[in-house]
Amino acid sequence: NAGVTQTPKFRVLKTGQSMTLLCAQDMNHEYMYWYRQDPGMGLRLIHYSVGEGTTAKGEVPDGYNVSRLKKQNFLLGLESAAPSQTSVYFCASSLDSVTAGGQQFFGPGTRLTVL
Amino acid sequence: GQSLEQPSEVTAVEGAIVQINCTYQTSGFYGLSWYQQHDGGAPTFLSYNALDGLEETGRFSSFLSRSDSYGYLLLQELQMKDSASYFCAVFDQTGANNLFFGTGTRLTVIP
């Protein structure tokens, strides 16, 4: 099993450009999440999904959109990138919520720089 | 909302024991998790406490006191490879059972 994979690993954008980050998991997990991690601020939840076809806002959703058309994939889109979106983005998945004991499985991350 | 506090940095000697504390405030507390993250790597799950008491997994143990809104991660027989950042995260039932992370404790193990 590959677990959780993310593409791309690195990306540099200019202000105003758009891009999509792809997350895939092969564990048949229901829940998927997108986080951003900035220095000294820990992980903050951007959007999440509790199943195929569902999405919901997390703590810091502004400037991002997501889609979960297939159970195994969760896409994060930036429509018009801003320097404030320079960060490391992590995707995660979990089997479900309560019985998973809070355990989430994380992908390797995407390091995004917006100039 | 949620808030978590943990020390920003801890230094300990190889072979020693270190305790990383975490205090939290949240309205829909369900459990406390701990994650480890090496520089440049992804967070990896270490432990989870939903009930008061101590959970042991090898060299790592985690403790929770719900009445005190407090938990800690205990690392024994420290090894150099334990140098990493450690995050506590509250598992919150407000909304859709999400994890809210602290800002992390950077542990440096010295020879």
Mean pLDDT score of chain A, rounded to an integer? 93
Contact A105 B43 (CB under 8 A): no
pLDDT of residue B94: 64
Contact B50 A104 (CB under 8 A): no
Q: Is the pLDDT of residue A108 over 90?
A: yes
Q: Which residues of B touch A (CB under 8 A)?
A: 8, 30-33, 41-45, 48, 50, 87, 89, 91, 95-104
pLDDT of residue B27: 81
Contact A42 B101 (CB under 8 A): yes
Question: Tell me: the pLDDT tens digits for A60-104?
Answer: 999 999 999 999 999 999 999 999 999 999 999 998 765 556 789
Measure the CA–CA gap between B45 and A39, rounded to whole angstroms.
20
Measure the CA–CA gap between A80 and B29, rounded to whole angstroms.
36
Of the candidates B71, B42, B35, B2, the one whose C-alpha atom is nearest the C-alpha of residue A107 is: B42
Pairing of strands B9-13, B105-110: parallel
For each of chain B's 111 residues, which pLDDT tens digit applies? 788 999 999 999 999 999 999 999 988 888 899 999 999 999 999 999 999 999 998 999 999 999 999 999 999 999 999 999 999 999 877 655 678 899 999 999 999
Measure the CA–CA gap between A27 and A4, rounded to whole angstroms.
8
CA angle, residues A36, A39, A45, in degrees to nearest 5:
20
Q: Is the pLDDT of residue A40 over 90?
A: no
